Amino acid sequence: MRKPFIAGNWKMNKTHEEALAFVKEVSGQLPSHDQVETAVCAPALFLKDMKDAAGSSDLQVGAQNMHFEDSGAFTGEISPLVLADLGIQLAIIGHSERREMFNETDQTVNEKVHAALSHGITPIVCVGESDAERENGETELVVKRQVEEGLKELSHEQAKQVVIAYEPIWAIGTGKSSTAEDADETCGQIRSVLSSLFSTDVAEAMRIQYGGSVKPENIDGYMAKENIDGALVGGASLKPDDFIKLAEASS
């Protein structure tokens, strides 16, 4: 049985003070970790203080990106070694905004996934098609390539640690969410790819989130689906009440 996982992706939003206020407000009100895993992936500058503020609560704090090297001449980058040292054990990898605006490729995603796992950081690997790819009927092909390339050369044990987030690009921040049926169909296709890449057991153990305009009003539809194990939430994760509602609806 896969445990539901609701993760917020704050992107480049909130001040340090607002971030800490959020943690203070939600951390005592979330359903227990036994029922649903919850996390907020915040700007790197806030991570240490948010982690401290979350204390022993069930709210996890994650990064939105990291480099694949531990150290070196990579101006402005985030070291996985430092994330791990600060106790940050979760990172989003290959979000479509990073792929589109910061030239991330399936290959860098794969390098980052390996680096994350080697530091005990759980990667949330984002995949998803653009509007044009969807119109051309290429959704299955695109996500298959992204999953196969992004998860290359992982052992079965490593693969089980990975979380996949299926985020159709046309549904991100647009209010145009995928229907639960379409999202489930693609998540099912992703699970088949995982099964071929690794094994049925591994594929059944791995969690696949849906992301793209998820909010308290539509979460139930996604969570009722067989292949959807949670959500990666942008806009709605910025509001404490909505984040709590999303976690409650998934528990």
How many Å apart are CA 99 and CA 96, to the nearest integer?
5
Listed ranges 50-58, 107-115, 179-187, 208-216: which one lies at the site for ligand 13P (CB under 6 A):
208-216
> Least distance in Å: CB of 103 to ligand 13P?
18
Rounded to whole angstroms, the Cα distance separating 95 from 125 reads 7
Q: Is residue 99 at the binding interface for ligand 13P, with CB under 6 A as the rule?
A: no
CB atoms within 10 A of CB 224: 10
The residue range among 52-60, 107-115, 145-153, 206-214 that interacts with ligand 13P, by the rule CB under 6 A, is 206-214
SS3 236: helix
Q: Kindly state the smallest distance separating residue 48's Cβ from ligand 13P, in Å.
A: 22
Residue in 177, 181, 171 with CA at minimum distance from that of residue 224: 181
Which of residues 95 and 202 has its CB atom nearest to ligand 13P in the complex?
Answer: 95
- Is residue 209 a contact point for ligand 13P (CB under 6 A)? no
Q: How far is the CB of 9 from ligand 13P (least distance, A)?
A: 4
Under rule CB under 6 A, residue 234 binds ligand 13P: yes
Near ligand 13P by CB under 6 A: residue from 59, 214, 219, 247: 214
Does position 235 bind ligand 13P by CB under 6 A?
Answer: yes
User: Which spans in 151-214 are helix H?
Assistant: 156-161, 180-197, 200-205
153 φ/ψ sector (left φ>0, alpha ψ -120 to 50, else beta) = left
Residues in contact with ligand 13P, counted by CB under 6 A, come to a total of: 14
173 binds ligand 13P (CB under 6 A): yes
Separation between Cα atoms, residue 62 and residue 74, nearest integer Å: 21
Q: Binding residue for ligand 13P (CB under 6 A) from 40, 84, 94, 95? A: 95
Q: What is the CA radius of gyration of the chain?
A: 17
Residue appearing with tokens 């969410």? 177
Strands 230-233 and 5-9: parallel
Catalytic residue (one of 37, 95, 104, 129): 95
**Which member of 39, 172, 183, 202 binds ligand 13P (CB under 6 A)?**
172
DSSP state of 14: -
d(CA 98, CA 105): 9
Q: Which residue(s) pair with 230 in the sheet?
A: 5
For the CB of residue 96, give the shortest distance to ligand 13P in the complex, in Å: 7
Active site residue 167: yes
Instruction: Report if residue 212 touches ligand 13P, rule: CB under 6 A.
Output: yes
Active site members: 95, 167
Give contact residues for ligand 13P (rule: CB under 6 A). 9, 95, 167, 172-173, 211-214, 232-236
